[in-house]
Structure 1
Amino acid sequence: MATGEEIAPALQDSWGDFWLFRFFVNAAGYASIVVPGFLLIQYFKRRNYLETGRGICFPVIKSCVFGSEVKSVHQDDGSLPPRAEPTESSTARQVFKLLFCAAGLQASYLTWGVLQERVMTRTYGATEADPGEKFKDSQFLVFMNRILAFTVAGLYCALTKQPRHGAPMYKYSFASLSNILSSWCQYEALKYISFPTQVLAKASKVIPVMMMGKLVSRKSYEYWEYLTAALISVGVSMFLLSSAPNRTVSTVTTFSGIVLLAGYIIFDSFTSNWQDALFTYKMSPVQMMFGVNVFSCLFTVGSLVEQGALLESLRFMARHSEFTAHAVLLSVCSACGQLFIFYTINQFGAAVFTIIMTLRQAFAILLSCLIYGHTVTVVGGLGIAVVFMALFLRVYARSRMKKHSKKLPLGETPVQKV
């Protein structure tokens, strides 16, 4: 009897720690908010509330359900402010800006990567007599990241001039839901695979992004885009299949880790394509950041409260001040990194930004191997080289195509790309 009573809580804990069980529990929490919201939107549309509605709530409902503007004819009208071209007289200033952007992006995301692996794979409060405890709730970390990003984006929008917002607010919820699910999969995957494996898998998300682009946005691609996507998949496969015999349990690529990585890539691919479609409304990137994070905070805090996990996570923070510092710094790096992304693309364009972030991925793998002792075989190293070669080839080919498209006669238009 005593043995049976001891086994029951152990089984309950093991089920509670299983990632698939937590995924469905989190999804049920999101559904408790999404389903009533969907029914309310359908109710207001069926009642033709835009024509018949009155009262104090009318502006809020109109903004959330119907929006205040039609879509822009051209996507470029509101997606990004015009990028200032550098002049000869300001070369030194442009170099300084480029170094500032590169340093800001590298510092933000390299620190974020190191802390992410530390929080998800190491224990807190370990002593000679006590092995310590690991933090288990990935959703709370997603909530911490989103609440700070929401605050930063809100302050930025309040203090700077932004385009008049016209998109129905509920449309942000689709990107928000896929974004928090992709972030959750990203954190959760570190319990089963190494950080270098995760970085290489992120690089391979070009392939599902292209697939989502065909399905969601009906986009077409050039032959070199398919070629670089194939090279990336080959490089990632080389890395994943080159497991060394002496590789430790923490770095073994498990089935659960692969499934979680696949979930991350699929959800993240949908997020980027849905946001791309939303930019057909007149808005700035910071407005997009604010709108998505509003719903992200709503979904995550609602799910955490329903599960009782919010108080448990706060108790963990109270027990371990080191974890509190790591979680706050993780959120700061995430929010600052998003602002550096917008500023870099605005000043120098997407090609320069992609080069900086590709270098960041390489540095992140090196830093993780140095700090946490991950081993990489010769075949795995060749796979990493193939992936980054394909990424740089992709950036080069895209920049050449853009230069060629600028030289085309007015009547000719190149194939649309992502």
Structure 2
Amino acid sequence: MWRQLDSAWRCGGYGTGVVVMLTLYGIIQERIMSEAYDGEFFTSSAFLVFCNRIFGIAFAVGMMMASKESFQNKAPLWKYLLISSSNVLSTWSQYEALKHVSFPVQMLGKSFKMLPVMLWGILISHKRYGWNDWATASSVTWGVTQFLVTGEILSKHADEGSGFYGLCLLFVFLLGDGFTSTFQEKLFKEHTMSKYNQMLYVNSWSAVISAIVIAGADPRPISFCLGHPLAAAHICLLSLAAVAGQFFIYSEVKEFGALVLAMTMNLRQVVSILVSYAIYFHPVNLMQILSLAIVFGSLFLKNYSGLKKSRDREEDAKASPAKSDELRELRPTEIGWEGPCIQVEPAEV
């Protein structure tokens, strides 16, 4: 009984950490990219990526030193670079999109990632998906589409007509993020490595790439931060929230599985959208509210069904040891679960 109570407390603690840290991350992200500092707007998305990755490197190094883990790369460096390239592109696109579309649109648009993840899974890992996966992906896609076409999607200070460009950036984010999560999972399967090893090398390559982008395209973010200390404080807080969010994500998926994490992430999306509406007063209509209900209702139903099915398999395995191999195959990897609707990756932040 005490073990179950302790497990419930830890699960609740990790879940609360994920929701709080990533909601904070989203709110600060929106503040930095869509609100002015003394009449000036911060414009360097690549600098935000760079700062996030530097904090991520420091966290990974600290955890590897604490656990006395080897710093040797466990996979060829070009594989880490491949993940980093798509990760930088997707994260940059995510930040840039906030200049043109509202945070709720950006957050809801992430639900579109199921279809890209499914397609990347088919192309890279030769996965096969059932009718229920396609049905969930279709209903979520329809709900998101309805949300976009039935109401206002622009950010508060965006130019009229820039919404299409913002949606294009979200599309780039979805393609890059879908590839990142799929290839991360493949890397965990093909090479024996810890989550911190992958965090270290992926974040290191990402920092290099984003630094090159800053040097070539926008050398002014540091002077902007020096002139606007509040912006510098927000950027540091954004990076801390991102790293803390990664820690809670990794902890929850390692101890309780990606299905539990997926439900937590769905809750985080709902909370983040509601908080954004409350703080930044984005307009919303009845059809958009209905669309939100369709999207998150489909996701929660899918995740609940998957969680129930996994528990049934665990009970069957306890009753029949011969089924333990089947159960082992269905356990989550360090990056996610086999399935497009519940594949959650720490690379999102």
- Residues 1:217 and 1:145: Cα distance change in structure 2 (over 3 Å): same
Matched, 1:237 2:145: yes
- Residues 1:255 and 1:246: Cα distance change in structure 2 (over 3 Å): closer
Matched, 1:264 2:173: yes
**What one-letter code is carried by the residue in structure 1 that aligns with 2:209?**
F
Question: Aligned-pair distance for 1:300?
Answer: 1.2
1:11-57 deviation line (CA, Å, top 9, x unaligned): xxxxxxxxxxxxxxxxxxxxxxxxxxxxxxxxxxxxxxxxxxxxxxx
Query: Match for 1:205 among 113, 132, 149?
Result: 113
Q: In structure 1, what is the equivalent of residue 136 of structure 2?
A: 228
TM-score by length of 1: 0.73
Q: Could you tell me whether the CA contact under 8 Å between 2:104 and 2:276 is conserved in 1? A: yes
Structure 1 Cα separation of the partners of residues 132 and 102 of structure 2: 30
Query: Match for 1:111 among 10, 13, 24?
Result: 24
SS of match in other structure, 2:237: helix
Question: Aligned-pair distance for 1:220?
Answer: 0.6
- Residues 1:412 and 1:360: Cα distance change in structure 2 (over 3 Å): closer
**What one-letter code is carried by the residue in structure 1 that aligns with 2:53?**
R
**What one-letter code is carried by the residue in structure 1 that aligns with 2:201?**
G
Structure 2 Cα separation of the partners of residues 155 and 173 of structure 1: 22
Q: Could you tell me whether the CA contact under 8 Å between 2:260 and 2:307 is conserved in 1? A: no
Question: Aligned-pair distance for 1:155?
Answer: 1.2
- Residues 1:221 and 1:152: Cα distance change in structure 2 (over 3 Å): same
Q: In structure 1, what is the equivalent of residue 270 of structure 2?
A: 362
Structure 1 Cα separation of the partners of residues 256 and 326 of structure 2: 24
Q: In structure 2, what is the equivalent of residue 314 of structure 1?
A: 222
Query: Match for 1:273 among 182, 201, 206?
Result: 182
Structure 2 Cα separation of the partners of residues 179 and 165 of structure 1: 19
Structure 1 Cα separation of the partners of residues 305 and 73 of structure 2: 35
Question: Aligned-pair distance for 1:405?
Answer: 4.6
Structure 1 Cα separation of the partners of residues 300 and 324 of structure 2: 31
Question: Aligned-pair distance for 1:302?
Answer: 2.3
- Residues 1:170 and 1:248: Cα distance change in structure 2 (over 3 Å): closer
Q: In structure 1, what is the equivalent of residue 280 of structure 2?
A: 372
Matched, 1:99 2:12: yes
Q: In structure 1, what is the equivalent of residue 164 of structure 2?
A: 255
- Residues 1:412 and 1:302: Cα distance change in structure 2 (over 3 Å): closer
Question: Aligned-pair distance for 1:386?
Answer: 0.4
Matched, 1:160 2:62: no
Question: Aligned-pair distance for 1:306?
Answer: 3.3
1:177-208 deviation line (CA, Å, top 9, x unaligned): 00010000000001111111111110121111
Structure 2 Cα separation of the partners of residues 402 and 286 of structure 1: 27
Question: Aligned-pair distance for 1:162?
Answer: 4.0
- Residues 1:231 and 1:246: Cα distance change in structure 2 (over 3 Å): closer
Over the aligned positions, Cα root-mean-square deviation in angstroms equals 2.4
Structure 2 Cα separation of the partners of residues 285 and 143 of structure 1: 20
Q: Could you tell me whether the CA contact under 8 Å between 1:165 and 1:282 is conserved in 2? A: no
Query: Match for 2:214 among 277, 290, 304?
Result: 304
Q: Could you tell me whether the CA contact under 8 Å between 1:194 and 1:250 is conserved in 2? A: no
Matched, 1:293 2:206: no
Question: Aligned-pair distance for 1:102?
Answer: 1.9
1:247-298 deviation line (CA, Å, top 9, x unaligned): 9664977110110000000000000011111112001112111110010011
Q: In structure 2, what is the equivalent of residue 90 of structure 1?
A: 3
1:215-262 deviation line (CA, Å, top 9, x unaligned): 111001121111110110111011111125999664977110110000
- Residues 1:356 and 1:327: Cα distance change in structure 2 (over 3 Å): same
**What one-letter code is carried by the residue in structure 2 that aligns with 1:276?**
E
Deviates more, 1:243-252 or 1:257-266: 243-252
Of all paired residues, the percent bearing the same amino acid is 33
Q: In structure 1, what is the equivalent of residue 91 of structure 2?
A: 183
1:327-351 deviation line (CA, Å, top 9, x unaligned): 0000000111111111111121111
SS of match in other structure, 1:205: helix
TM-score by length of 2: 0.86
Structure 1 Cα separation of the partners of residues 51 and 73 of structure 2: 26
Question: Aligned-pair distance for 1:91?
Answer: 2.6
- Residues 1:250 and 1:372: Cα distance change in structure 2 (over 3 Å): farther
Structure 2 Cα separation of the partners of residues 230 and 259 of structure 1: 20
Number of residue pairs the alignment of both structures matches: 323
Q: Could you tell me whether the CA contact under 8 Å between 1:193 and 1:251 is conserved in 2? A: no
Structure 1 Cα separation of the partners of residues 278 and 69 of structure 2: 43
